Structure 1
Amino acid sequence: MTTRSPVVDALPDAASLRRPVGRRLLWVLVLTGGLVVVSVASVAFGTRDVSFDEIASAFTGGGGVGEAAVIARVPRTVLGLLVGAALAMAGLTMQAVTRNPLADPGILGVSAGASLAVVSGIAFFGLSSSTGYVGFAIVGAAAAAVFVYTVGSLGRGGATPLKLALAGAATTAAFGSLSSAILLPRVDLLEVFRFWQIGGIGGATWERVQVLLPVLAIGALVCVLCSRGMNSLALGDDVATGLGEHVGRTRLVASAGAVVLVGAATAVAGPIAFVGLVVPHVCRMLIGTDHRWLVPFSALGGAILLVGADVVGRLVARPTEVEVGILTALIGAPFFIWIVRRQKVREL
């Protein structure tokens, strides 16, 4: 009797790759509509609610008491869309590259590596520009990804879901402790980055969006170009090689795209976990496992989830707000347990 792989249920099969195009397009339209709804809600709701007439007036230059609130919330909404899309695409890519249904930038310690690099750059190198944050974060994310995959690959069986998850959890805890140790003696920095370490988009500015946009565009383009190769990787290394896929190169390039997305997103929003875990699995259930569709579809889903969570965080604790990183953790932790049980990851 043959033993099924613990991740076999997350891999593409012929039926899912042939999922009707009409159904996929329908879901794309549904998610596009959802994106519009959460974007409008993000601009309209907050400490002070803004009417739709005031929103229209702000965009047409008509003035009004709500114009300042609208102007302040638009860059926050755009940043949330970009960060959510980036984290979802990165999570999808990591799951495809590692063939691990539990892969996520937060779970595997990649976000923690980016955070530690930014904190170290600020404390020891006087880092102050958004461009510097992004550069340091990408380097830190890359180093953490290599470290976790190396540790998870040690021993018998290679990089199993259990060993990667444990290596990622240990790395996240260690990097988080190091970040705290660096910040604690520096009270001025600790206050500034206390909420950043939780993960949030409250400090959004157009300058941050302008720095983030081209970097995310590069990372997203790499993931899109590797989508066909990700389909091959999901069939196994031997089959992928037989299909003419250069397995090592595809893994390296796709991983680089994911690292760029995670590093840039973490640099401006902090380590936001579970978006890259929840969204790809939901998208697979809706449109199948063809990565040529999943990559852009996950981007839409991630944007909706993050901006929607940000809106909820503003409404549940007014006049203050709950950071979006807390809400995504509340959503993602039960989902993580459900995925472990559903995928029957025996090692766990």
Structure 2
Amino acid sequence: MLVAQEGRVRESGTEPPTPGSARLHRPTLLAAVALLLLLAGLCVLSLLIGSGSNPVAKAWGFLTGDPAARADAQIRLAVMDVRLPRTLAGLLVGVSLGAAGCLLQSVTRNPLAETGLLGVNSGAALGVVIGLTYFHITSAYAVLLWALVGGMAASAVVLLLAASGRAAGSPLRLVLAGSALGATFHGATSYVLLGTQSTFDTYRYWTIGSLAGIETKDTVPLLPLVAVGLAVAFLCVRPLSALALGDDSARSLGHHPGRIRLTVAVAVTLLAGSAVALAGPIAFLGLLAPYAARLVTGPRMGGQLLLSGLVGACVMIVADLLARVVIRPWETPVSVLLAFIGGPLLIWIARSRHMSTAGAST
């Protein structure tokens, strides 16, 4: 059975992803180093450039220890209290959505799967609306908590639905449960919003997706959740590599397909839930980052996961930088810029001759 499956994969023109593919090969390692250097440069630019009128030279002087710049309270406020927190948030959101998208595409064997598939986005939206309407929350931190609880709760229900029945843990059951619950939660959110104008005003700001106004105190509580999600994700590299050969082949290698999918879904929930709670629904990033990673890594799951997180972080920081300068002194929501980039790119992906290869690789 395993030999036959490997033969079919070789005929498709790609090497079969085996448990040993968790090791990084040379192109992946070089790409990871290049992305890390690029990410470091982007983070420096993120600290230097803002939507206000503060000169870049003064911000650079502050970073390099210039006494005059260090004594400037306005520059200190801009760099340390505005730009640094949103840079950290951009890193967290980008890595989380990139890794979550990679896991989700692999476990569902669908190169167009994205992080809203488990109902996280719709659950977070409903959580925010309930908190605003019935519990009268006012602070940004409270909105973050309600979004996180809503996203986690929605994903938990999806996992329970997918884990029950004869086809427990199957990709189709997971996708159907997420789509059905997402539609239900979207309807409930719209119903609540119809009767509360004040709730709609606050919800509209959250759901547009942005890093503006994020503080360090918003990011720090989510770091343990993201760390756990990433740890679980990398522990799933070998099982997912075996699962890519097919359920029967994975069982012959000692893995349980249903448990693998549910474990991956938990990791996706932690990663995507944290990102959505912090920045709102961010479209396309969880779809594009894994695709870009596969262009370098092929079917190697370990490399895919690493590069997906790095690509996601780079794209998120670039989008946030553009958001600050496109219509300065105002800001463009990050999700809008990603939609302008992601929409045409998604069309190109759908028409690409590599589409079938991407599907086989996951």
Tell me how many residue pairs correspond in the alignment: 334
State whether residues 106 and 272 of structure 1, in contact with CA within 8 Å, keep that contact through their aligned partners in structure 2: no
Distance 1:50 1:229, change over 3 A: farther
2:149 pairs with 1:135: yes
The one-character-per-residue Cα deviations of 1:173-230 (angstroms, maximum 9, x if unpaired) are: 6544532432343333322221211111112111111111111111111111111111
Q: Distance in 2 between matches of 1:182 and 1:44?
A: 42
State whether residues 113 and 143 of structure 1, in contact with CA within 8 Å, keep that contact through their aligned partners in structure 2: no
Residue 51 of structure 1, aligned match among 34, 56, 77: 56
Distance 1:159 1:136, change over 3 A: closer
| TM-score for the superposition, normalised by structure 2 | 0.80
2:92 pairs with 1:82: yes
Q: Which amino acid aligns with 2:344?
A: P
Distance 1:27 1:306, change over 3 A: same
Q: Which amino acid aligns with 1:22?
A: R
Q: CA deviation at 1:92?
A: 0.7
Please state whether the residue corresponding to 1:194 is helix, strand or coil: helix
Could you tell me which residue of structure 2 aligns to residue 22 of structure 1?
Answer: 26
State whether residues 124 and 147 of structure 2, in contact with CA within 8 Å, keep that contact through their aligned partners in structure 1: no
Distance 1:41 1:58, change over 3 A: closer
Q: Which amino acid aligns with 1:319?
A: P
Could you tell me which residue of structure 2 aligns to residue 313 of structure 1?
Answer: 323
Could you tell me which residue of structure 1 aligns to residue 128 of structure 2?
Answer: 118
State whether residues 104 and 277 of structure 1, in contact with CA within 8 Å, keep that contact through their aligned partners in structure 2: yes
Distance 1:111 1:264, change over 3 A: same
Residue 291 of structure 2, aligned match among 278, 281, 290: 281
Residue 178 of structure 1, aligned match among 176, 188, 202: 188
Q: Which amino acid aligns with 1:288?
A: G
Q: Which amino acid aligns with 1:70?
A: V
Residue 333 of structure 2, aligned match among 323, 329, 333: 323
Distance 1:56 1:234, change over 3 A: farther
Distance 1:181 1:18, change over 3 A: closer
Q: CA deviation at 1:168?
A: 6.5
Distance 1:320 1:184, change over 3 A: farther
Distance 1:221 1:286, change over 3 A: same
The one-character-per-residue Cα deviations of 1:113-143 (angstroms, maximum 9, x if unpaired) are: 3222332233234556344542332112333
2:67 pairs with 1:63: no
Q: Distance in 2 between matches of 1:10 and 1:275?
A: 25
Q: Distance in 1 between matches of 2:338 and 2:156?
A: 23
Q: Distance in 1 between matches of 2:117 and 2:146?
A: 25
Name the stretch that deviates more: 113-122 or 235-244.
113-122
Distance 1:110 1:144, change over 3 A: farther
2:206 pairs with 1:196: yes
Residue 350 of structure 2, aligned match among 326, 332, 340: 340
Alignment of 1:118-267 (within 5 A): 118-126=128-136, 129=142, 130-143=144-157, 164=175, 175-267=185-277
Unaligned runs of 5+ in 1: none
Q: CA deviation at 1:91?
A: 0.7
The one-character-per-residue Cα deviations of 1:220-263 (angstroms, maximum 9, x if unpaired) are: 11111111111111111011111111211111111101011111
RMSD over aligned Cα atoms: 3.4
Higher Cα Rg, which structure: 2
Q: CA deviation at 1:29?
A: 1.2
Please state whether the residue corresponding to 2:116 is helix, strand or coil: coil
| Structure 1 or 2: more helix by fraction | 2
Unaligned runs of 5+ in 2: none
Distance 1:145 1:32, change over 3 A: same
The one-character-per-residue Cα deviations of 1:6-30 (angstroms, maximum 9, x if unpaired) are: xx7899557x949973322211111
